[in-house]
Structure 1
Amino acid sequence: MSPLIPSLLLHIIAIVVVVNGENSTIYEILKDHGLPMGLLPKGITRFDFDGTGRFEVHLDQACNAQFESVLHYDMNVSGTLSCKKIEELSGVSAQELFLWFQVKGIWVDVPSSGVIHFDVGLVYKQYPLSMFETPKDCMVVGDSEFVDSIRDGKLLAEAIAKRQSANLRNELDRESLGRNQMQ
């Protein structure tokens, strides 16, 4: 057998592997699904992607990336990719004011609209699609910092709710007192 034949076979196998996308990055896979590459931060150390659209990416450490608001990425982020959307997303949270919300899904309705939607549970947040064109640097945060931030946000929300409740009680008491004085 000529030494040229094994070499030729290796080249053909390498071409097939590249054509089948075995060497794709997660950013290219996002782009192939009609999503911007910047949905995931820089610093991904490993990723898995299967034929059903299920993906998992791994970062060295949890981190935050600054967009219009801050996105927090856990060390492991996973979800299911389909055309122009990510469903069953876990490992990503978005900060709104002082509160953190788990991002459950992301989708682009019409790319020409220039808008991307984030499902954060009770509401859908819209961002300019252009913010996510390229992967952002991600600032490392300790899990305890993130947990403290969530706790602080919950404490703030509880304080606001208590304050509103107290204001409502005072208002009702004044109305009741005014009615009693009129009788």
Structure 2
Amino acid sequence: MSSSTTTTPLLLLFLISLSVVATAKPTAYEVLESYDFPVGLLPNGVTGYELNPETGEFKAYLPQTCKFTIEGYDLEYKSTITGVISKDRLTHLKGISVKVLLLWLSIVEVDKKNGELQFSVGIASANFPLEGFEESPSCGCGFDCDDANLAVL
């Protein structure tokens, strides 16, 4: 076998691997970052998403409903989250709720302004520093997870 015959399959494999890497779909977390949002807006475990880059309409999928508490707020993410994403703004959100007193309210919009994220439930909103969203929380335990909690999830 000549050296050109052996290098041809290796070159072909190399080109195929480059093609696979070049066409790999970014993760939902990478998409958030491409619109200038921190990854911590989504909990760990997103299994997939759909995005229409022209309209910004998206769907993100979790294996099941995800609940956790962060800084005194109870949050719930349904297994499908939908909305419209644009630079520094999420609108028409469905599938994310926060418990305020005894009521569960839907978070309908998130705006990024001046180093803060503003979460709106329609009639009211609250601002939080971006630094609190650098990491994604985990279902069931938020940021207060230990190995025993993760094994159960």
Same fold? TM cut 0.5: yes
How much does 1:78 deviate?
1.1
How much does 1:89 deviate?
0.7
Give, in whole Å, the separation in 1 of the partners of 2:82 and 2:138.
19
Q: Which runs of 4+ in 1 moved over 3 A?
A: none
How much does 1:12 deviate?
3.5
Give 3-state SS (helix, strand or coil) of 1:93's partner.
strand
Give, in whole Å, the separation in 2 of the partners of 1:109 and 1:96.
23
Normalized against structure 1, the TM-score is what? 0.65
1:102 pairs, out of 92, 106, 131, with 106
| Structure ranking higher in helix proportion | 1
Q: Does 1:10 align with 2:16?
A: yes
Give 3-state SS (helix, strand or coil) of 2:64's partner.
coil
How much does 1:4 deviate?
4.1
Equivalent residue letter for 2:46 = I
Q: Larger deviation: 81-90 or 42-51?
A: 42-51
Give, in whole Å, the separation in 1 of the partners of 2:59 and 2:104.
22
1:80 pairs, out of 79, 84, 102, with 84
| Identical amino acids, percent of aligned pairs | 29
How much does 1:5 deviate?
4.6
Asked if 1 retains the 8 angstrom alpha-carbon contact of 2:30 and 2:39, the reply is yes
**Structure 1 unmatched ranges of 5 or more:** 141-183
Asked if 1 retains the 8 angstrom alpha-carbon contact of 2:117 and 2:129, the reply is yes
Q: Larger deviation: 46-55 or 26-35?
A: 46-55
Count, aligned residues:
133
How much does 1:41 deviate?
0.8
Equivalent residue letter for 1:99 = L
How much does 1:99 deviate?
1.4
How much does 1:122 deviate?
0.8
| Structure ranking higher in strand proportion | 2
How much does 1:105 deviate?
0.8
Asked if 2 retains the 8 angstrom alpha-carbon contact of 1:67 and 1:131, the reply is no
Aligned to 1:156: none
Equivalent residue letter for 1:100 = W
Give, in whole Å, the separation in 2 of the partners of 1:60 and 1:102.
20
Equivalent residue letter for 1:44 = V
Equivalent residue letter for 1:76 = T
How much does 1:50 deviate?
2.7
Give, in whole Å, the separation in 2 of the partners of 1:12 and 1:45.
24
Which structure is larger by alpha-carbon Rg, 1 or 2? 1
Show CA shifts across 1:92-117 (max 9, x none): 01111221111111011122xxx210
Paired residues for 1:120-135 under 5 Å: 120-135=121-136
1:61 pairs, out of 54, 61, 64, with 64
**Structure 2 unmatched ranges of 5 or more:** 142-153
